[in-house]
Amino acid sequence: MQSYDFTPKGVCSRRIQFDLEDGKLHNVRFEGGCNGNLKAIGKLLEGADAADAANILRGNDCKGRGTSCADQLAIAVGQALQAS
């Protein structure tokens, strides 16, 4: 299992961490941001196919910022998949 640490940009969360094993997401955690919603995202994505999850979350917007914590997670997962 490979662990990843990502610093998001343009959102309230300050850090995103997750693990990848065999293309599946595990232990998705956000530091800062909307605590309840971000914990729910982590629970919903546990064991999910990382590429599918990134495709679903990519482009999600928060308050007209052009990004969101979910979008930043999609970016982080995309980078992790390219690196592996």
Q: In this structure, what CATH number is given to the domain that contains residue 27?
A: 3.30.390
What total number of domains does the chain contain? 1
pLDDT digits 0-9 by tens, 44-60? 999 999 999 999 999 99
DSSP 24: E
Structural domain including 75 reads 2-83
Beta strands in 7-84 (DSSP E): 15-21, 24-31
**Cβ atoms of residues 19 and 29 within 8 Å:** no
pLDDT tens string 8-53: 999 999 999 999 999 999 999 999 999 999 999 999 999 999 999 9
Three-state DSSP class for 49? strand
- Residue 55: half-sphere exposure toward Cβ, Cα within 13 Å: 5
Distance CA 66, CA 84 (A): 27
- Global confidence as pTM: 0.95
